[in-house]
Amino acid sequence: MRTRLTEVIRAMGYEPGAEPKDETPIAVSPEKRKTILDDLARGKITAEDAVKFLQGE
């Protein structure tokens, strides 16, 4: 699971452990974000799909 989350973070253009930039708008609500990450952890969606959903696509 850790590898998948790292892939998602990198696919979104971030480096795990790096300080977040305040200029990036949130594409989805916190509730939707949690649902997406839970689905990823359960294997219901791929890392690539998670990135798309987290970006609001």
Tens digits of residue pLDDT in 10-31: 888 788 776 666 555 567 888 9
Report the predicted TM-score, pTM, of the whole model to 2 decimal places. 0.56
What's CA 47's distance to the chain center, in Å?
A: 8
Where do we find the tokens 């997406």? 36
What was the pLDDT predicted at 42?
94
Helix, strand or coil, per DSSP, at residue 53: helix
